[in-house]
């Protein structure tokens, strides 16, 4: 009987799921992961998409001078490293829940848990401040002097 009980414990131990090695080992690693799957680098890191993500760490999340222009005006990807270096974690949680001008997908941030946002904060602040502040917002009637993407759809069907 003892053999069967012991064999049962050993078998259960062998069949127990292994620790998930894909789970981040720290809040900083979790933040790196959330940033990656949310696509934050696509806009907030110059050259990220064009190089398949092969950008030196010192350039990550430093914003861009390439704007996004549409009916709302022209906006620029924020230098998150500078912004978060000036905010406490509590201030970041409030800021992340506010809406931003397009094309920033604010709804994605709003869907994240506090733990996700805290991990993002931990990761970005671990990188330290770097880069320059992004250009200022240009209203629809303003003159845009930087490169920009035109976010106005063409050839829409009539309603």
Q: How far apart are CA 94 and CA 6, in angstroms?
A: 53
Residue written as token pair 């003159």: 143
DSSP string, 5-45: HHHHHHHHHHHSPPP-TTS-SSHHHHHHHHHHHHTHHHHHB
- pLDDT of amino acid 159: 82
- pLDDT of amino acid 9: 39
SS3 3: helix
pLDDT digits (tens, 9 = 90+) for 26-47: 999 999 999 999 999 999 999 9
Residues of the chain scoring pLDDT < 50: 1-21
Strand order from edge to edge, sheet including 67-70:
73-75, 67-70, 148-150
Helix (H) or strand (E) holding 132: none
Cβ atoms of residues 67 and 74 within 8 Å: yes
């Amino acid at each position: 009987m003892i053999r069967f009980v012991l064999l049962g414990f050993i078998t259960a131990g062998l069949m127990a799921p292994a620790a998930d090695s894909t789970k981040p080992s720290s809040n900083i690693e979790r933040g790196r992961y959330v940033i990656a799957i949310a696509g934050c680098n696509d806009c907030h890191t110059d050259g990220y998409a064009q190089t398949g993500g092969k950008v030196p760490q010192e350039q990550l999340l430093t914003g861009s001078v390439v704007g996004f222009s549409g009916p709302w005006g022209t906006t620029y990807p924020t230098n998150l490293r500078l912004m978060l270096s000036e905010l406490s974690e509590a201030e970041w949680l409030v800021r992340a829940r506010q809406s931003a001008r397009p094309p920033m997908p604010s709804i994605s941030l709003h869907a994240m848990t506090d733990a996700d946002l805290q991990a993002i904060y931990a990761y970005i602040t671990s990188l330290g401040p770097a880069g320059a502040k992004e250009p200022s917002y240009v209203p629809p009637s303003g003159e845009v002097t930087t490169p920009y993407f035109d976010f106005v759809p063409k050839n829409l069907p009539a309603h």
